[in-house]
Every structure is written in C-alpha cells, then in structure tokens.
C-alpha cells in the first residue's frame, strides 16, 4: 500500500509537548458520537488558532499533526519520526450508515470531506478517538491494513446503493400500478354496439339506443324486439 507523508511545519520539541499536554487537560476526545467529534474538532481548531497563533503555519498538515499528538502520551515520543514508526490508529466503526447529507463534514485537519469517506479511529493505548477523512487516514501508519478497510467500505456502499435502487424500483412499480388503476377508473366506456367512446354510466351511444330501444306502455325503455319491458312482462 502506498502511504502518504504528512509534512507539518511544527517542531516536535518540549514546547510543543507542553502545548499538547495543556490542550489535553481541556477535554478528552474519547467519544464515539460523530456529532460530538465534529463539534469538538471544530472548536479545538478555533481554540488552537486563538490560543497558539504561531503554532499553525501549514493549515491541514499542522492540524493533522496536532490531533495525532492529542491521542498520544506525548512524553513517550521525541520526534515526528517516532510517531510514524511506533504509532498506529485503528478504525472503530463504519460511519457511512444513517448519517444525513446536510452536515458540514470536516476531517480533524479541517479539510472538507464526504460522509462516505469518514473514519473514526483511535489509539489503542489511550482509547482517544478522532475523525479523519480518506486522505489523512492513508498517511503513515494511521490505520492498519487500510486497503482492506477501503474495500469493505466500497462493498458496503455498493450494497447501500443496491438497496436504494431496489427500493426505488419498488416505489416506481407501485406508482405505475396506481396510475393504471386510475386510468382504468377514468377510462371512458365504449358503446357495446359500435364501440365508440361514451360517457359513464351509459353502455350504448345515443345513436345505437335509438336503433335498439323504444318506450314500453309504462314509459320505461325496452328493446324494440320485445312488446313489453322486463317489469311489465313479469306482471
């Protein structure tokens, strides 16, 4: 797997370690809730920019480095290379399901991401969670066997799309059936003799009725080839 390098401008020194430990005291990022993570990471980026204005020079790579550092027991590391060599994050669960499209999704680094490319990952030693996009998660030793994870995500998305298509086809079929019922109800009657369209509830057109029917002595319509209507015939 081809891994990417995060080129941060932040110097991994005692001053940086002190900043990370100060930030870690504010609030632990150990939630599994995607909305809390999004809100926390957004607030934390604003806090870092305001409190440590000289820390972030190369926005996305620097914020990525800061959030990775926040998951660390920072005193156990002396340089960024140690992080790359010794540090791994694990994916905690697939975030692509049941998430609305109208949120402003951002990776921990601050870059906009699509909901289908979001991953909640955590440091097994600290159990602190962060939300990353597909670019940051592909950086050195962020997720073990990420190629497999991406393939599983791809298969899940295909299944979601297939289910959506099936549901859409069922919906279209039901609409089609309803329209056919409505068309049948609205379809004009045809004259039983000449087959021209006539209004309901008539079964013969006016011309055919004149040819076929006349009046019984009681005033009721009857066929011309009968002397009486049906009611008079029964009497």
pLDDT mean values, one per 10 residues, the chain (235 residues):
68 90 74 78 91 87 88 85 70 56 79 79 73 77 52 73 77 77 72 78 80 82 81 78
What is residue 1's predicted lDDT score, i.e. its pLDDT? Answer: 42
What is residue 93's predicted lDDT score, i.e. its pLDDT? Answer: 55
Same domain, 133 and 195: no
Euclidean distance between CA atoms 176 and 215, whole angstroms = 45
Q: Is residue 58 part of a domain?
A: yes
CB 46 within 8 A of CB 39: no
159 sits in the region (left: phi over 0; alpha: psi -120 to 50; else beta) called alpha
In sequence order, the β-bridge partners of residue 122 are 90, 129
Last residue of a domain, one of 86, 118, 144: 144
What is residue 191's predicted lDDT score, i.e. its pLDDT? Answer: 82
| Nearest of 81, 85, 89, 64 to residue 145 by alpha carbon | 89
Q: Is residue 49 part of a domain?
A: yes
Q: Is residue 9 part of a domain?
A: no
Q: Is residue 47 part of a domain?
A: yes
Last residue of a domain, one of 144, 160, 178: 144
What is residue 103's predicted lDDT score, i.e. its pLDDT? Answer: 67
Q: Is residue 226 part of a domain?
A: yes
What is residue 142's predicted lDDT score, i.e. its pLDDT? Answer: 47
Chain-centre distance of CA 197, in angstroms?
A: 50
Same domain, 36 and 136: yes
């Amino acid at each position: 797997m081809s891994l990417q390098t995060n080129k941060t401008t932040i110097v991994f020194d005692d001053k940086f370690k002190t900043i990370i430990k100060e930030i870690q005291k504010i609030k632990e990022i150990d939630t599994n809730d995607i909305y809390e993570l999004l809100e926390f990471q957004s607030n934390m980026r604003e806090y870092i920019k305001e409190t440590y204005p000289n820390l972030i020079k190369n926005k996305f790579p620097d914020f990525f480095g800061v959030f990775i550092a926040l998951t660390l027991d920072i005193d156990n590391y002396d340089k960024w290379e140690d992080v790359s060599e010794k540090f791994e994050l694990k994916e905690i669960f697939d975030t692509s399901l049941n998430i609305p499209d109208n949120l402003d999704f951002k990776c921990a680094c601050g870059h906009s991401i699509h909901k289908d490319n979001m991953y909640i990952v955590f440091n097994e030693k600290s159990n602190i969670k962060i939300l990353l996009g597909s670019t940051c998660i592909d950086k050195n030793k962020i997720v073990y066997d990420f190629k497999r994870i991406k393939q599983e995500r791809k298969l899940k998305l295909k299944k979601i799309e297939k289910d959506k298509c099936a549901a859409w086809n069922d919906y279209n079929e039901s609409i089609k059936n309803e329209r056919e019922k409505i068309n049948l109800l609205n379809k004009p009657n045809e004259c039983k003799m000449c087959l021209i369209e006539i209004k309901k509830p008539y079964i013969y057109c006016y011309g055919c009725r004149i040819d076929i029917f006349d009046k019984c002595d009681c005033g009721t319509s009857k066929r011309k080839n009968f002397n009486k209507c049906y009611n008079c015939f029964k009497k």
